[in-house]
Chains A and B, each alone.
Chain A
Amino acid sequence: MIYLDHNASSPLRPEVLQGMIPYFGERYGNPSSVHAAGRACRQGVDEARRRLAEQLAVHESQIIFTSGGTEANNLALYGQAARHLFQGHILLSAVEHPSVLQCAERLRRHGIELGRIPVDSAGVVQLDELQAQLRSNTILVAVMQANNETGVVQPVEAIARICRLRGIPLLCDAVQSFAKMEIPFNDWQLSLLSLSAHKFGGPKGIGALVVDKPLAVEPLLSGGGQERGRRSGTENVPGIVGFALAAALAGAERPQRVRQWQEWQKQCEQRLQEAIPEIQIAGQAAERLANTTALLIPGVHGETLVMSLDLEGIAISSGSACASGRSRPSSVLLEMGFDPELATSMVRISMGWNTTEEEMERFTESLIKGIKRLLHW
């Protein structure tokens, strides 16, 4: 079994589960309760928040725990739009995650004006386009740090500088890039940052929105007033504890892992392009996440290739997992200017915390064989 679909979901690390287990067992209180059982849980939440804040070099009050990256993105967009009474202009990169694109689309029906910043053929947001599209009534810019399908990294630091000069908050969706890249929230002066635990060895069902201190956020969910009134609902205590644990582990291991991924990525891609020269790599000209490779293989149907590899016990993906069984070409690839026909040949390889060199070698050979079989070589 070789699992190379970490961008869809990474397996929970056993040591993270171990850290969560007490909160599924004896530490079962409600953090809002004042008795000892409640306080033990509150402590778990506080400690996790403190450690995560330390890792991100932000204040604890800047972290809002959510049910995941999708909710974090929705909270960021809705929270800003509502604060401006659904008036104003939001600018998004054309390759944002569906949770950003679709939420923004909904806000448009509330009265928000939308603008899309195109990407170049390498998948990178074009800064001059961004500059040109900023308006006096722009209330938010949203650009992801790295794309989930192609791994292409956006010039977030430069974008943040532009936004800062204009006094416009920037939402950076770091769901895929966290633990794979540096995210200097303060140095870059980001306004909003979305995170999701299950993309780097933490549990599913937990994420966070990191918020710049002076920025007010209108809540998406109202009720008991948890998370300083910005996200109601009984805290997912084991999830929060697991999130912080996984983040700490991933953070500590990052330099070494990234170095390995880079090496294996290079080897795999070289080998593939040697064996099958027609293969293209989406965003090859751009800086990409070291763990992600999106391949385009003329003449192959991506979905079919993925299925045939699955029979051999190899899990990769033919696109984003969010698109629930769709077989349409990836909109990210279309935005990059790929031909729709070619785009349907896309398969995505994404490494994670437990990927080994040996697995990558075996996988590469199986992939080459699989492609050759489909191309009737």
Chain B
Amino acid sequence: MKKPIYMDYQATTPMDPRVLAEMLPWFVEKFGNPASRSHAYGWEAEQAVEKARTQVATLLNADPREIVFTSGATESNNLAIQGVARFYQDKGRHIITPVTEHKAVLDTCRNLEAEGFTVTYLPVKEDGLVDLQQLAEAITAETILVSVMAGNNEIGVVQPLEEIGRLCRQKKVLFHCDAAQGVGKIALDVEAMQIDLLSISGHKIYGPKGVGALYVRRRPRVRLKPIIHGGGHERGMRSGTLPTPLLVGLGSACALAGEEMQAENQRLLSLRQRLLDGILSRLTHVHVNGSLQHRLAGNLNLSFGFVEGESMMMAIKDVAVSSGSACTSASLEPSYVLRALGVSEEQAHTSIRFGLGRFTTIEEIDFTANLVVEAVNRLREMSPLWEMVQDGIDIASIQWASHH
């Protein structure tokens, strides 16, 4: 078993070697600019780009003409939200998005507030899911866009996209879905789910970094104001030379995900269960953050009571995971996603995200479970809070002195 073990598949995924193999010829031998229409180098590049476009579209049950290539999901999210807001602002200036969205969605919305848009940041239920009733009530005559992610990057919770899509269509509001964490992991069908715009990332699905896509519905047609102008590539929605190798990689990653998703999800679910069982059978005071039922198969987010997340990461440094603890971020604020679920700050500081994926093995799961149990026991021995709990003291009853 190779160490360190990578268990951070929601941060990024290794490229699938099959994807890289598809990309390689497009770097050196087939290097044309797909916009060069007058020589063979340009033509073959253009053909490769169109094949990739079809591969991406197929995975979503979309038409290739509905796919706009971008530099990644951050750009896709910015393009979808800014683009819709600026195009439809005469129709209304209200946007709804849950508080647990990715920063690329939340910050884009915040910037629009400065431009005079109103944004409703929708709370989520304790399991991380959007309350459909609440969403329905939040939609007003002014609402032009609802943006809800497919799978959450921290807690893996999968939102009821079909219900949200139905509601949005009923109320004649556009529905954007940040599916950076959903594409290739859950079955997405833009028709069945009535999704109008959908963001895709390459490097979250075993494809390359620096590439993504935005699905933009043609019927009924969704219009956008572009962010990046010049040259008029991507039907004017996104200018800039198309990076053929990266697009080939994205297409190939989508094709592989489509073929393997079902079997892969079964495998990941059983691995995740094994990890969870291995931990819960030997440790108390472990809490699963977010719905376990409506969740990406490759995500497990656990809070280990009385053990601070960053010290936990150090203790299991042979396994690459991430933590919702403030100590792993520059902000000193614990995860806003966990806070939105009503998880206490204390519990947020003790959270660890295990991200499982295509290359995770059963040996790695068992090794991780053992390491986690060992580390938690060791750190609890060192934890004054654990000592107090053992002494029967209710930690919540204590008046803690400082809040920094």
**Do any CB atoms of chain A lie under 8 A from CB atoms of chain B in the complex?**
yes
* B210 and A324 within 8 A (CB): no
Chain B residue at smallest Cβ distance from A304: B38
Asked if B58 CB lies within 8 Å of chain A CBs, one says no
- Bound complex: CA of A171 vs CA of B111, how far in Å? 25
- Bound complex: CA of A8 vs CA of B8, how far in Å? 38
- Bound complex: CA of A234 vs CA of B243, how far in Å? 17
Chain A residue at smallest Cβ distance from B233: A324
Using a CB-CB cutoff of 8 Å, which residues 1-36 of chain B contact chain A?
A: 4, 6, 8, 11-15, 17, 20, 23-24, 27-28, 31-33, 35-36
* B31 and A222 within 8 A (CB): no
- Bound complex: CA of A320 vs CA of B4, how far in Å? 48
- Bound complex: CA of A246 vs CA of B211, how far in Å? 20
* B244 and A204 within 8 A (CB): yes
* A220 and B36 within 8 A (CB): no
- Bound complex: CA of A26 vs CA of B175, how far in Å? 37
The answer to whether residues A239 and B210 also contact, given A8-B35, A74-B228 and a CB cut-off of 8 A, is yes
Chain B residue at smallest Cβ distance from A5: B36
* A236 and B231 within 8 A (CB): no
A1-45 vs B, Cβ < 8 Å mask (1 yes, 0 no): 001010011111010010000001100111011111110000000
* A30 and B39 within 8 A (CB): no
Chain A residue at smallest Cβ distance from B104: A223
Interface magnitude class on chain B? 35 or more
User: What chain A residues lie within 8 Å of B225 (beta carbons)?
Assistant: 106
* B231 and A233 within 8 A (CB): no
The answer to whether residues A105 and B241 also contact, given A28-B13, A223-B74, A224-B103 and a CB cut-off of 8 A, is no
Q: Which of A29, A303, A307 has the most CB of B within 10 A?
A: A29
The answer to whether residues A9 and B241 also contact, given A303-B38, A323-B231 and a CB cut-off of 8 A, is yes
* B31 and A8 within 8 A (CB): no
Q: Which of B31, B208, B321 has the most CB of A within 10 A?
A: B31
Stretch at the interface among A136-144, A311-319, A355-363: A311-319
Asked if A167 CB lies within 8 Å of chain B CBs, one says no
Asked if A321 CB lies within 8 Å of chain B CBs, one says yes
- Bound complex: CA of A135 vs CA of B27, how far in Å? 46
Task: Give the contacting residue for B8; candidates A30, A105, A106, A205; CB below 8 A.
Answer: A30
The answer to whether residues A67 and B75 also contact, given A34-B322, A36-B4, A203-B243 and a CB cut-off of 8 A, is yes
- Bound complex: CA of A224 vs CA of B226, how far in Å? 21
- Bound complex: CA of A224 vs CA of B241, how far in Å? 24
- Bound complex: CA of A102 vs CA of B237, how far in Å? 12
* A234 and B12 within 8 A (CB): yes
B281-319 vs A, Cβ < 8 Å mask (1 yes, 0 no): 000000000000000000000000000001001000100
* A70 and B4 within 8 A (CB): no
Using a CB-CB cutoff of 8 Å, which residues 139-160 of chain B contact chain A?
A: none
Asked if A374 CB lies within 8 Å of chain B CBs, one says no
* B209 and A68 within 8 A (CB): no
Using a CB-CB cutoff of 8 Å, which residues 95-140 of chain A contact chain B?
A: 97-103, 105-106
* A222 and B228 within 8 A (CB): no
Chain A residue at smallest Cβ distance from B203: A234
Asked if A189 CB lies within 8 Å of chain B CBs, one says no
Task: Give the contacting residue for A223; candidates B37, B107, B208, B231; CB below 8 A.
Answer: B107
- Bound complex: CA of A272 vs CA of B347, how far in Å? 76
**Nearest chain B CB to A357's CB is how many angstroms away?**
21
Asked if B78 CB lies within 8 Å of chain A CBs, one says yes
- Bound complex: CA of A236 vs CA of B201, how far in Å? 12
* A102 and B230 within 8 A (CB): yes
- Bound complex: CA of A203 vs CA of B28, how far in Å? 9
Asked if A158 CB lies within 8 Å of chain B CBs, one says no
Chain B residue at smallest Cβ distance from A34: B328
* A205 and B243 within 8 A (CB): yes
Task: Give the contacting residue for A28; candidates B14, B75, B227, B239; CB below 8 A.
Answer: B14
B70-84 vs A, Cβ < 8 Å mask (1 yes, 0 no): 111111011000000
User: What chain A residues lie within 8 Å of B74 (beta carbons)?
Assistant: 221, 223-224, 232-234
* B33 and A205 within 8 A (CB): no
Task: Give the contacting residue for A35; candidates B8, B73, B208, B233; CB below 8 A.
Answer: B8
Chain B residue at smallest Cβ distance from A327: B37
**Nearest chain B CB to A56's CB is how many angstroms away?**
21
* A38 and B320 within 8 A (CB): yes
User: What chain A residues lie within 8 Å of B242 (beta carbons)?
Assistant: 204
**Nearest chain A CB to B225's CB is how many angstroms away?**
8
* B12 and A29 within 8 A (CB): yes
Asked if A325 CB lies within 8 Å of chain B CBs, one says yes
- Bound complex: CA of A271 vs CA of B375, how far in Å? 77
Chain A residue at smallest Cβ distance from B238: A70
A47-77 vs B, Cβ < 8 Å mask (1 yes, 0 no): 0000000000000000000111111011000
- Bound complex: CA of A73 vs CA of B77, how far in Å? 20
- Bound complex: CA of A210 vs CA of B158, how far in Å? 40
User: What chain B residues lie within 8 Å of A11 (beta carbons)?
Assistant: 28, 31
* A238 and B208 within 8 A (CB): yes
User: What chain B residues lie within 8 Å of A38 (beta carbons)?
Assistant: 8, 11, 320
Chain B residue at smallest Cβ distance from A68: B240
Asked if B166 CB lies within 8 Å of chain A CBs, one says no
Using a CB-CB cutoff of 8 Å, which residues 52-86 of chain B contact chain A?
A: 70-75, 77-78
User: What chain A residues lie within 8 Å of B102 (beta carbons)?
Assistant: 223
| Known A8-B35, A68-B241, A322-B35; further 20 A-B contacts with Cβ < 8 A | A9-B36, A12-B31, A17-B24, A25-B17, A30-B12, A32-B11, A35-B321, A71-B228, A102-B230, A198-B243, A222-B110, A223-B103, A225-B103, A232-B107, A234-B72, A234-B203, A306-B38, A321-B42, A322-B230, A325-B35
Residues in chain B within 8 A of chain A (CB atoms): 4, 6, 8, 11-15, 17, 20, 23-24, 27-28, 31-33, 35-42, 70-75, 77-78, 102-105, 107-108, 110-111, 201, 203, 208-211, 225-233, 239-246, 310, 313, 317, 320-322, 328
Closest 10 CB pairs of A and B: A99-B230, A236-B210, A205-B243, A223-B104, A322-B231, A67-B71, A233-B74, A204-B243, A70-B240, A222-B107
Interface CB pairs A-B, < 8 A, 26: A8-B33, A12-B31, A24-B15, A29-B12, A30-B8, A34-B313, A37-B4, A70-B229, A74-B230, A99-B239, A196-B241, A198-B241, A198-B243, A204-B241, A204-B246, A220-B227, A223-B77, A223-B105, A223-B107, A225-B103, A234-B74, A234-B201, A235-B209, A315-B36, A322-B231, A322-B241
